[in-house]
Amino acid sequence: MLTQDTIEALARRLYDARKTRTPLRHFSAQFPGMTIDYGALGSIAFRFI
């Protein structure tokens, strides 16, 4: 299970990658237990950065 801090950190990485146009590896490679639900949470957190 991902913590709220981890989700926010991933959202920050998404934001920074978008801003700098830098590609990222799939987060699921780093967090094999990650599900689509966590992806949705990351997208929601991304909107508030």
pLDDT, tens only, 4-48? 888 888 888 888 998 999 998 888 888 888 887 776 766 776 676
Judged on CB neighbours under 10 Å (0-12, 13-18, 19+), 37 is: exposed
3-state secondary structure of 48: coil
Residues 6 or more apart whose CB falls under 8 angstroms from that of 38 comprise 2, 7, 31
pTM (two decimals): 0.70
- Structural domain of 42: 4-21+28-47
> pLDDT value at position 39?
66
In the DSSP assignment, the letter for residue 30 is H
pLDDT over 70 (residue 49): no
> pLDDT value at position 19?
92
